[in-house]
Structure formats: C-alpha cells, structure tokens
Structure 1
Amino acid sequence: MSLDTLTSPLLTRPGAVAADGVDAGVAWHYGDPTREQRLLEEGVAVVDLSHRAVVTVTGPDRLSWLHSITSQHLTDLAPRTSTEALILSPKGHVEHALHVVDDGESAWITAEPGTAEALIAWLRSMQFMLRVEVTDRSAEFAVLGEPVGRESADGEPLAWRDPWPHVAPGSVSYAAVDEADHPANGRAWRELLVPRRQLAEVVGERPLAGTWAAEALRVVAWRPRLGFETDHRTIPHEVDWLRTAVHLRKGCYRGQETIARVHNLGRPPRRLVMLHLDGSSHHLPTSNTDVELDGRRIGHVTTAARHHELGPVALALVKRNTAPDAVLIVDGVSAAQELVVAP
C-alpha cells in the first residue's frame, strides 16, 4: 500500500483541520494552533506524524551497510540509541534525511512523507550481495511526535530521539552561537513508532497539536527539514546539518569529498538565517518567496510560521556574504535577520 493512500484516523477528532501539501493526511491544527504550541512547549501534547515514511533494514550486515552509504557512523550503533544520517549525491547535495534507531534486530528509519518509494529504490540499488533486506513498513506503523527528551526503554514502543541541537561525536557546528546559547538547547523531541491500528489508543487522552504548531517550534529551533530547508543544491554546511547528521572522521561514502573540501578549505555559498517578519501583513510568505536586499534577490524563504510569542518568523537561505545586520525585504515587508549559520 502506498503511503499516499493513508489518511490518519485522528483527522476525525473534533476541530481537526487537514494539512495540505507534503503534510497532507494529518492535521494542520485542531482549532487553536496558538494553544497547541504552548501545550507542546509544556510537554503535554503530541503530534500526529503518521504520514511519515517508515522503513526497516534487517539482516546481519545492516549497520555496516548503512554506515558505508550514509554520512553517519553507524557500525557500532547500540540498540535503542538514536542518530541521524543523510544520503548525499556524488556532489554532496542532500537527497534523503534518515532518522535511525536500531532495536537489536532491525534498523528502523523514518523519513519525509512520500519518500519511501524513492528511498527504498535507492537503498535496494546499493545492496549488491550484502545480507540486508529493505522493507516499507509505512502501512503498518505510524509515527507519533512527542516532546520527550529520552530514548525509549525496554518494554516501551521503539522511539527515535531527536539529537538536535547537540553536536554529535565526530561532528561540528556551523552555528553562529555556542551550543549552550542555541535556541534549541534543552529541546525535547522524539518520534514514537506504534502499530498504525493502535495510533488512537496510544494517543489516549493526551491533547493533540497539529503540524502548524510543530513547524512553528521547529523554525525557532533552527531545525532543518528535508524539502523545506533543502533544494537540489543544498549541502549540509549551509543549514548547520553537520552537527547531528555528518561524521567527519568516518570512512568513504558518496558525497564525502564535498563535505571535506568545504569544511577544510572554504565556507558554504549560502547560509541559513531566521527572519523576524514585520507583523503588519496578515499572511505569511510561502516557500521559495524571494528575499531581497536593495531590490536584488539574495535568497529565498524555506519555511514560514506564526509563533505564539515571536509572531511571524521564517527560515531562509541567503547568500553567505549578505551583511548580518542588513534589513531584508520579504513579500514587501521588512525582515530582520537572526544568524543561524555564521557568515
């Protein structure tokens, strides 16, 4: 069954308004997105992410194989320990982002909605004679996002704990601030893997928050998302993705040459910023809206959101040499920069 044919049963909950685009199939909000953001920050709400792709890799060679074809060090990944890996093009551009946790017998991967078919096709093309089996589990298992900052324990459903923003061993930060001052420091987030038929039961009486709330909190955490903060030429350095998803001292993998060359010899051509948008406009800019300086296009919006405290904000990719104190223009309104990646 294709993931595209699956619609969450939680869309029948009172007040649910369906999301569209990439997040179609789950709720955008349940009637009060501002309250839903607060409940998420308080650690009591959960987010229906059952549209995410779920893939398993089984077999005795699974971790060494994934290690050899992704950006992350995976050979000694302990059971119920979460990590993040990227699949890069030969030129180092981001193609897939994998949330990986192993249960001791299978490596479980969650990925962006609608990407299972392409991801599995590429993984199977790289199997050769290794003892691995790749399976789409999206029709059987659903993802539930919850503001919990620990790994899953024995006896609990398996979960992927988001490592962001902590700099993983072998990685490096490109952020303009130290980890202690990062806006996501102390952030708690994980993806719980539950049988799809038990999704409503696992949610229970906990309040639900929609993707509107989850995306607003992701933006202010400077957390990149595949297909939003990335395009066909994005390299991890531009969005500070090395910190959690790239191991700089592991063996050869596709795209490694670009990773090493940019890290050792130069700086990325673009950098991620968070924009504080003038609140006088009643609408948010859409993805790919031009970011301008002195009438010239110097970048584009990747994700815009309305935060319950900061108001309208956005992540954007701009040219690296854009002056950090420049006031930019987005869709006719002014936008002040908050540095994410250091220029």
Structure 2
Amino acid sequence: MANAFAHLPGAVVDDTGLRHVGNPLIEQRRLHDGDAVAPLGDRAVIAVPGEDRLSWLDSLSSQALTRLEPGVGTELLVLDPRGHVEHAASVVDDGETTWLIADRDDAPRLLEWLRKMRFRLRVDPRAADEDFAVIGGTPAALERVAAAAPAGVPLVWNDPWPQPGAGGYAYAVVDPHPGAERVWAEAIVTRDEERRIAEAAATGEIEIAGLAAVDALRVAAWRPRWSADVDERALPHELDWLRTAVHLDKGCYRGQETVAKVHNLGHPPRRLVALQLDGSGSVLPERGAAVRIGDDAVGTVTSAALHYEEGPIALAVVRRTTPVDASMTVDTPDGPVAAAQEVVVPPDAGATAGVPRITRLSRRASAQ
C-alpha cells in the first residue's frame, strides 16, 4: 500500500513508514507539545467483533478485559507457557468490537494465533488495515483528526503508561518517572481520513512528525515496545511491563504461573536500563549492540535515539547482577562509546523488593 505522506516536502519513507519530514528533532518538540501528529505506518489494526470478545481475550492474555468499558484504553500481552512475551497489542473497545493496535510485523502472527483459538466462541478476529490506519499524538493534537467511530465511540487509544493500572505493579523507582512527561494517544482513522490528513499536511494546515520522533519520545519515557524491546527470552518483568500490560490478580491464562512465580518469589533474570550515551559522536548503536563493562558483554541495546533535549539515549537489557553503578560502554559502528546507566528495573525487582525511590540523574534533570 502506497504511503499517503510520501509526497510531503522533505519526506523520508522506508518500509516502516514515514521516518521524518526533514528535521526529526524539531518534529519531536512539536509532537511533545501537541503541535503535530504522526502517521504510524508501523502499526496494524485487528478488529475482534462478537459477543464473547472481551471474556475470550481475557482468557488468552495477561490483561483483565471482561469488564473493559467502551473507549477506555489498555494493553495486553500474549505469553508462551514459560511466560515469555510472544505478542503485544493496545486495546480499545467500542461496545460492539474490540480493536487491537499491534506492531505491523507482529500483527499477522497475532491474528493467525487468535483465529486458531476461537473454538466455538462468538468471535471473529480479522485484519482491518485495508480500511483503517493509525495516527499518533497528544490527545489535544488528535482533536484535529476524525477518529473512526463505527459504533458511535471514537476509536482513540490513550496510552496508560506509566501509571500502573488495576492489578499492575511498578518496578522502576525513579521520581519523577520520565514517562509522566509523555502524554500519548493513537487514533484509528479511515483511509479516507488518512488521505485528508496528508492533504492538510501538504498545505500546512496540519503539522506532521515522523516515526523517528515518535520513537525518540518513547525511548525517553522508558516505554517498552514489542518490535524493539522484545526478544525470544523477554519476560514482562524485565521491561517494567507489569505496570500497564499485566493484571496480577486476574484468572488463569497461558504463562501466568511464571509471571506470578517471578514476581512473588524471585527476580527477573535480566533488567531494563536507560543509557545516557556519550554525545560527542553522531552514530547511534544498532539494536542488538553489545553493552559492556570492560571487555565483558553484560547485555544488548534494544532501542536507541537522538532526543531533542537528552541527546543520544538508549534502552538496553542487561544481566540482573550487573552493578548499578558500573561504568559501561556500548558498541557502535564507529567504535565503543561511554554510557551512563539509569536503573529502570532494580536488580532485586519483585514483590519482596525494598528499594527506595531515587531521583533521576539524566542530562535534562541535571541541567534544571
């Protein structure tokens, strides 16, 4: 499907979607301030109609969905029997259909799995990308966008991150949490509305930001995402994802035993860290780049970005036992760069942890 925004002046488009329209740093600020919206070509939409949809999704996923109210946003994870993350999706229901926003690379597999799990229940999951696209921004910015509302409820998913939901649990102990600065929502729009937005952007009526800006704000907020931060070993605990994607008190689902055991009796084997990278170079580490203490590789980068205030930053998953005060380096195509670690998930994370709240030590915080 052709990208509706490829004709914009300065547009850079790749197979994930519109990357930027000339200046990703300016686009970040506009997106953060609510002055721009972002076409999310790397998202896909799955529609799940049917009377049993919410109880069915509840039984399959980590989230409590049976009593989800129309228009309320949440998110779910599908885990394997050992508790590893297989799929993730944002969720909004309109009273007749549950709408899932998933990473485009994962959506076909998620849909295939959902269709296999229908049995005799009254549900009929289907791909909805031919008819719908996803636009992101602050809730205020999305007021310029006509969200689809096939059942009368606007299909706008308001990101709950980082506020722990009912049944959720927060591992990060920083105050304030950087995610509190990011107010984010995603609107499901018709393809006709997507074209209207593109036309309005061409005339300057609507400001547009690209995926590079979206991802930089996400990394700065320590917000996990399936396509970036999940590998075949990932447990939700390691990414502080119990906050918004897991309900610890709900009924049985695949992988629940591991979720409960790691949280209540142990600690996740790896932990997410935020990295402030040496800003003297312009080359960011690639996904999967080694994080080292001396010559010893202790983890890998999952996401990296150049932030308009923080400079070069990254998220990485490291061994649980990695010292929290260790001096690190990260491999880049131009050689190793120094990295200052901020603890996201503490080494003793879990229900029995007694870690005090700490103040952030980011470049932005230290400059204020």
Q: TM-score, normalised by structure 2?
A: 0.87
Which of 72, 75, 88 is matched with 2:63 structurally?
A: 72
The 2-side partners of 1:115 and 1:259 are apart by 22
Q: Secondary structure at the match of 1:184?
A: helix
Q: Secondary structure at the match of 1:9?
A: coil
Report whether the alignment pairs 1:184 with 2:158.
no
Match of 1:145 in 2: 136
Report whether the alignment pairs 1:171 with 2:168.
yes
Q: Secondary structure at the match of 2:69?
A: coil
Match of 2:3 in 1: 8
Following superposition, the deviation at residue 25 of structure 1 comes to: 4.4
Match of 1:196 in 2: 191
Match of 2:346 in 1: 342
Report whether the alignment pairs 1:321 with 2:321.
yes
Residue type of the partner of 1:235?
Answer: L
Q: Secondary structure at the match of 1:336?
A: strand
Residue type of the partner of 2:90?
Answer: H
Q: Secondary structure at the match of 2:226?
A: coil
Which of 319, 330, 337 is matched with 1:333 structurally?
A: 337
1:181-209 Cα deviation digits (max 9, x unpaired): 11111421111011112203246322111
The 5-angstrom pairing of residues 86-105 of structure 1 reads 86-105=77-96
Residue type of the partner of 2:272?
Answer: L
The 2-side partners of 1:277 and 1:177 are apart by 19
Match of 1:63 in 2: 54
**CA shift in 2, pair 1:112/1:336, >3 Å:** same
Match of 1:3 in 2: none
Greater mean deviation of Cα atoms: 151-160 or 227-236: 151-160
Provide structure 1 residue ranges, at least 5 long, that are not aligned to the other structure: 1-5
Match of 2:22 in 1: 31
Q: Secondary structure at the match of 1:338?
A: strand
Residue type of the partner of 1:139?
Answer: E
Residue type of the partner of 1:54?
Answer: V
Match of 2:260 in 1: 260
1:133-172 Cα deviation digits (max 9, x unpaired): 0110011100000112799898674111111000001110
The 1-side partners of 2:2 and 2:325 are apart by 44
Match of 1:121 in 2: 112
1:51-78 Cα deviation digits (max 9, x unpaired): 4110011110000000000000000011
CA contact (8 A) 2:157 2:187 kept: yes
The 2-side partners of 1:330 and 1:50 are apart by 30
1:227-261 Cα deviation digits (max 9, x unpaired): 31110010000000000000000000000011000
CA contact (8 A) 2:71 2:92 kept: yes
CA contact (8 A) 1:8 1:51 kept: no
Greater mean deviation of Cα atoms: 261-270 or 41-50: 41-50
The 2-side partners of 1:269 and 1:116 are apart by 28
CA contact (8 A) 1:274 1:316 kept: yes
CA contact (8 A) 1:7 1:51 kept: no
CA contact (8 A) 2:94 2:154 kept: no
**CA shift in 2, pair 1:127/1:153, >3 Å:** closer
Q: Secondary structure at the match of 2:229?
A: coil
**CA shift in 2, pair 1:51/1:7, >3 Å:** farther
Provide structure 2 residue ranges, at least 5 long, that are not aligned to the other structure: 348-368
Match of 1:227 in 2: 227
Q: TM-score, normalised by structure 1?
A: 0.93
Following superposition, the deviation at residue 177 of structure 1 comes to: 2.1
CA contact (8 A) 2:105 2:227 kept: no
Q: Secondary structure at the match of 2:139?
A: coil
Match of 1:162 in 2: 159
Greater mean deviation of Cα atoms: 150-159 or 166-175: 150-159
**CA shift in 2, pair 1:103/1:156, >3 Å:** closer
Kindly report the root-mean-square deviation, in angstroms, between the aligned alpha carbons of the 2 structures.
Answer: 1.7
Following superposition, the deviation at residue 89 of structure 1 comes to: 0.6
The 2-side partners of 1:110 and 1:163 are apart by 14
How many residue pairs end up in the alignment?
Answer: 332
CA contact (8 A) 1:8 1:25 kept: no
Greater mean deviation of Cα atoms: 69-78 or 108-117: 108-117
Report whether the alignment pairs 1:292 with 2:292.
yes
Greater mean deviation of Cα atoms: 233-242 or 111-120: 111-120
The 1-side partners of 2:80 and 2:128 are apart by 25
CA contact (8 A) 1:157 1:194 kept: no
* Percent identity between the two aligned chains: 52
Residue type of the partner of 1:78?
Answer: E
Following superposition, the deviation at residue 117 of structure 1 comes to: 1.8
The 2-side partners of 1:50 and 1:198 are apart by 14
Residue type of the partner of 1:213?
Answer: A
Following superposition, the deviation at residue 37 of structure 1 comes to: 0.7
CA contact (8 A) 1:304 1:315 kept: yes
